[in-house]
Structure 1
């Protein structure tokens, strides 16, 4: 229920993605959290997208709006008309394309807007950036200090930036099946070492680096299993790489898995060899499940994984360094267990979904209060 000091809001969320990745998971965590606090939510997203299915599944009102590219004027018109019908108190823009197209539509409709920046990519200085952050949105939420730094380097005024980190809901990470059952289903013995990576199979996630590191580990006589849970454009290339390295007997490409809680409970450690990462929710999920994490020292991962305490950070694109960290983790079971326990405490204490939802609620009310006073 909305807090005693504020009225319930109507929030229109715009997401232009047709796929469903970590960003969309965060959108739905936020929507469900806001609903639990008494706020109304409407989701505007592409037709036949996974977001439409998810919204219908949990009873969130959804309006289907195609957003084909960044110059889709028809999308701007459709978004504008939809917003005029809904008349939300505020619009929350969740992706780059949504920020541009939805930002224009919100401005035309006279409705204040905020956006969330999730990607650890440079923000290009230019007219589009000036228009978005100077005129179309009132505030921008960065999911990590690293993303905030990118925004500032791109010319976004620091006073317009609010750091609201991505989060986890620990109740969604309770496994349905036992460790032994999951391992048996995947053809792995109860004492075999197992690594898990949860990631979109795209170059930025560095799975190719991880496969190369496994070849280094094999040369040292250590051959863990690797479960790769996720889909993406690089899957075929990664499968070929695993075959060329002679790793097919130890690497399982599992595709999209709704049972990630089961996989986390059944693995021994998680690994995120990303080349860039806005924050690293997969690392948070692994930590919440009590698993030590080995990750690249990039972007927001440096704010999630505490080196030597909840896992290890290694230089990106360095298979040898990654292999060394993994070897060290697996040769010391007590250390691995200690790191897992520390990670679980940190994830639940500092990255709980309720904190994210409360922060966005405060951001909305701040924007609306400022607008009313003008």
Structure 2
């Protein structure tokens, strides 16, 4: 039986969460569901692509800041018109407004999804505990996220489920052979340029590598509120030749595939889609030991994990890796094999279908 499902996101412009929406759309043929997409805020690159593929997309053009009565009012109107059987909310803002609206509209199956490990105050934990009471299940995109949800007491263990993010690796397989000699240490970063992603520390680490006479080139792919800070920092540290600020790209793998190593210096990270994509390119990875990274990387075999992502720590690790660069090809191949088949979108869609249908059959989802 075809089930109408609406996915609620905070925005549908660019970023890992938004890429997730595209992956769901591209693999909708693996599902029996009729899928709709909604952004609390504005649209952008991803919403445009979703519409080109042929999916209904609704952008409410609200701030989405918690709490936003206008968002709830607009969502109520949308849900009444669409009449979905399942609502699946992605991220804190979407969870807050989407689950409350869905409960008020009595949407039969209500799913929340936490995409990171938030720094919630005691009050915020209490608020989200109340919000998640309106859900039937809450997905954690890694074991680390799921465990946090339960240990923080926001979600009871019986409601929490871990479903890894899906990652499309077909294109990266083709790009994996595009390697170069190690004449320059090419480093890749893909992600939003926000404080939590810590791009400024990586740029400072490149400056330290330059001081150690390492021939280095950093590709920073992405955009965000820290773009101007990144530009200023590169100028202040005389890194115009060493750092290329690419901005948003709809094909970041074309940059990552030519790199010797991919770095994820995040202060907090729920999963790390770009991390898996880099590994799928056959590129070794260096990541902070936060969130889902330890579940993805086998330290010393498919990449490296570090406890701190300050500039000195990043520089020290990268300098050691550069001095052992003859091992990079082997580690990259191990990285590619480790993610092959592990995060398949087809399997993800089946997991979602099973979750939706199981809760629909139970009526209340036991929640």
Could you tell me the TM-score, scaled by structure 1's length?
Answer: 0.89
Shift in Å at residue 248 of structure 1?
1.9
Against the structure 1 CA distance between its residues 35 and 124, is the aligned structure 2 distance closer, same or farther, given a 3 Å change threshold? farther
Q: Which position in structure 2 is the counterpart of 1:141?
A: 139
Q: Which position in structure 2 is the counterpart of 1:296?
A: 288
Alignment of 1:69-218 (within 5 A): 69-111=65-107, 112-126=109-123, 127-134=126-133, 136-155=134-153, 156-173=155-172, 179=178, 191-218=183-210
1:43 matches 2:37? yes
Take 2:333 and 2:365, find their aligned partners in 1: how far apart are those partners?
48
Secondary structure in structure 1 of the residue aligned to 2:87: strand
Take 2:364 and 2:127, find their aligned partners in 1: how far apart are those partners?
27
Secondary structure in structure 2 of the residue aligned to 1:166: coil
Q: Which position in structure 1 is the counterpart of 2:320?
A: 328
Q: Which position in structure 2 is the counterpart of 1:245?
A: 237
- CA contact under 8 A between 1:178 and 1:262: conserved in structure 2? no
Could you tell me which of 5, 8, 17 is aligned with 2:11? 17
Take 1:37 and 1:294, find their aligned partners in 2: how far apart are those partners?
35
Against the structure 1 CA distance between its residues 74 and 234, is the aligned structure 2 distance closer, same or farther, given a 3 Å change threshold? closer
Against the structure 1 CA distance between its residues 280 and 48, is the aligned structure 2 distance closer, same or farther, given a 3 Å change threshold? closer
Q: Which position in structure 2 is the counterpart of 1:33?
A: 27
Q: Which position in structure 2 is the counterpart of 1:3?
A: none
Could you tell me which of 225, 244, 249 is aligned with 1:233? 225
- CA contact under 8 A between 1:279 and 1:299: conserved in structure 2? yes
Against the structure 1 CA distance between its residues 10 and 318, is the aligned structure 2 distance closer, same or farther, given a 3 Å change threshold? same
Secondary structure in structure 2 of the residue aligned to 1:158: coil
Against the structure 1 CA distance between its residues 211 and 94, is the aligned structure 2 distance closer, same or farther, given a 3 Å change threshold? same
Shift in Å at residue 372 of structure 1?
6.1
**RMSD (CA atoms):** 2.4
Secondary structure in structure 2 of the residue aligned to 1:54: helix
Structure 2 unpaired stretches of 5+ = none
* Worse overlay, 76-85 or 44-53: 44-53
Deviation by residue 1:102-121 (Cα, 9 ceiling, x = unmatched): 11221121112101100222
Shift in Å at residue 65 of structure 1?
2.4
Structure 1 unpaired stretches of 5+ = 1-6, 184-188
- CA contact under 8 A between 1:298 and 1:316: conserved in structure 2? no
1:319 matches 2:315? no
Determine which structure has greater relative contact order: mean sequence separation of CA pairs < 8 Å that are 6+ residues apart, divided by chain length.
Answer: 2
- CA contact under 8 A between 2:286 and 2:305: conserved in structure 1? yes
Deviation by residue 1:61-91 (Cα, 9 ceiling, x = unmatched): 1233233233332332322222222222211
Against the structure 1 CA distance between its residues 332 and 226, is the aligned structure 2 distance closer, same or farther, given a 3 Å change threshold? same
Shift in Å at residue 164 of structure 1?
0.7
Take 1:279 and 1:63, find their aligned partners in 2: how far apart are those partners?
26
Against the structure 1 CA distance between its residues 177 and 287, is the aligned structure 2 distance closer, same or farther, given a 3 Å change threshold? closer
Secondary structure in structure 2 of the residue aligned to 1:266: coil
